[in-house]
Amino acid sequence: MSVLIDFKYLFNLDLSQLRNLNSSQFENSNVELYSEILTNYLSHDLNRLKRLVSIAESRQHLNDDSKFIYRCAYLRLSIREFSITKEKIKYLEEVLDSKSVWYAEMCFILGYASDKFNDNEKSLIFFKKAYNKFNEMGLYKKAIRSLANSIAAKSRIDTDLNCISDLTYLLSESIKYNEFITANRTSIHLSREYLKLGCVQLAFKFANSAINYAQENIGTIDYYEAYLNRCHIYAELGFYRDSRLDYQIIIASRFESTQSSMLNILKKFPQLTENLMPISYNKPQNSMFWSESQISFNINSVGDLAEKIIEFLASGPKSKTEICHYLYGDKIETTSAEARLSNVLTRLKKQNNKLFAYTNGFFHLIEEPITQSKVSNE
């Protein structure tokens, strides 16, 4: 006899898995109800979601699970309706209990709600709590999604802070657990971070990786944003022919956010539409990567060796000996290798003095990885 699905198992499922469930698989009617709520929330079926929230409201007095289902569903509906208020966030926050199986799920929803309320600091706190608790529960797929949202919140708080170490770890975990949508988005984010640093080859490497992962979800917003990212990089580097090829894929998108972001890129590079169909959408929207301010930077290439050092440090602190061996192997003498490394690091430090530091015998990127920072679950 197969094990029936409980809340803990349910929280870890994605939309395709939720759609494949049937009523005989659930532990009880509450689990089935929340499964339907998640399915319709993730598929953006607002009318059906409203009906399910009404059902949850009528049952909220039955037990704690019923009460939690209603409050979670109510806030999820508010997220979809863009009607988040401080009072609605508090309505769920006031029943948080770190000992409950619902704790991580509630923190995850509160993270999203705080994001939509433009409270990035609170969003980061909730997503970090969700990440820690989902990991503790062994729900690694949901932990990965929580970490991805933590990094996004962190990068919105300080737009000058690089998140390369966090993103490198997130990408490896996404691949490990077959979270290809997260791998796609993380590759895009890494590509943007490396582009801003002047790591041109790495920017292309992760832009192409994003497109490879996006093939798992052709026609989705993630698919088009992968091409949008590479289209912009090609344009920034003057490869207009290649950029125009990606542009021809992007104009088929039905997603307003993609169209709006492409418009911002076209303001900087109007030549991309020459003899091609123009974007018909003209309503501006907020964009994490392609707002006008986000694409107004100039690219100063750091060089191939510097790129290799930065990518090597992204996996954690390294000694001088480790870096020299990584760059040169046994091809040259140690003193020559160290002298060459010193020259590269000096040039890199002049170009960006906030990128890396040397502490206790190790070089490391200047950032505090979310995976190493502490946050209380109380």
**What average pLDDT does this structure show over 211-219?**
89
| Tokens, residue 257 | 């956010």
HSE, CB side, 13 Å, CA atoms: give it for residue 17. Answer: 10
How does DSSP classify residue 374?
-
User: What is the model's pTM?
Assistant: 0.79
How many other CB atoms are there within 10 angstroms of residue 4's CB atom? Answer: 12
Residue 285 has pLDDT above 60, yes or no: no
Residue 375 has pLDDT above 50, yes or no: no
Compute CA distances 365 → 17, 127, 199, 302, 318, whole Å: 38, 23, 15, 15, 10
Give the closest residue to 266 by CA, choosing from 250, 286, 288. 250
Residue 151 has pLDDT above 80, yes or no: yes
59 — pLDDT class (breaks 50, 70, 90): very high
278 — pLDDT class (breaks 50, 70, 90): low
**Residue 289's pLDDT is what?**
63
**What average pLDDT does this structure show over 64-85?**
96
**Residue 220's pLDDT is what?**
85
Question: Are the beta carbons of 104 and 134 closer than 8 angstroms?
Answer: yes
**What average pLDDT does this structure show over 200-224?**
92
User: What rounded mean pLDDT belongs to the chain?
Assistant: 89
Residue 291 has pLDDT above 60, yes or no: no
**Residue 29's pLDDT is what?**
96
Any idea where the domains of the chain sit in the sequence? 1-114, 200-301, 304-365
Give the orientation angle of helix 221-236 with respect to helix 200-214, to 10 degrees: 160
Residue 297 has pLDDT above 70, yes or no: no
Give the orientation angle of helix 46-59 with respect to helix 64-80, to 10 degrees: 150
Residue 282 has pLDDT above 60, yes or no: no
Residue 96 has pLDDT above 90, yes or no: yes
Above pLDDT 70, what percent of the chain? 90
Residue 1 has pLDDT above 50, yes or no: no
Per-residue pLDDT tens digits for 6-54? 999 999 998 889 999 999 999 999 999 999 999 999 888 999 999 999 9
Q: What is the 3-state secondary structure (H, E, C) of 64-106?
A: HHHHHHHHHHHHHHHHHCCCCCHHHHHHHHCCCCCCCCCHHHH
Per-residue pLDDT tens digits for 324-361? 999 998 888 989 999 999 999 999 988 888 888 999 99
**From CA 121, how far away is CA 115, in angstroms rounded?**
9
Torsion sign across C-alpha atoms 234, 239, 244, 246: negative
159 — pLDDT class (breaks 50, 70, 90): confident
Give the closest residue to 314 by CA, choosing from 260, 355, 361. 355
279 — pLDDT class (breaks 50, 70, 90): low
**From CA 330, how far away is CA 52, in angstroms rounded?**
65
Per-residue pLDDT tens digits for 306-317? 999 999 999 899
How many other CB atoms are there within 10 angstroms of residue 42's CB atom? Answer: 16
Residue 284 has pLDDT above 70, yes or no: no
More confident: 285 or 314: 314
Residue 368 has pLDDT above 70, yes or no: no
Question: Are the beta carbons of 185 and 291 closer than 8 angstroms?
Answer: no
Question: Are the beta carbons of 161 and 154 closer than 8 angstroms?
Answer: yes
Residue 91 has pLDDT above 90, yes or no: yes
377 — pLDDT class (breaks 50, 70, 90): very low
Above pLDDT 90, what percent of the chain? 65
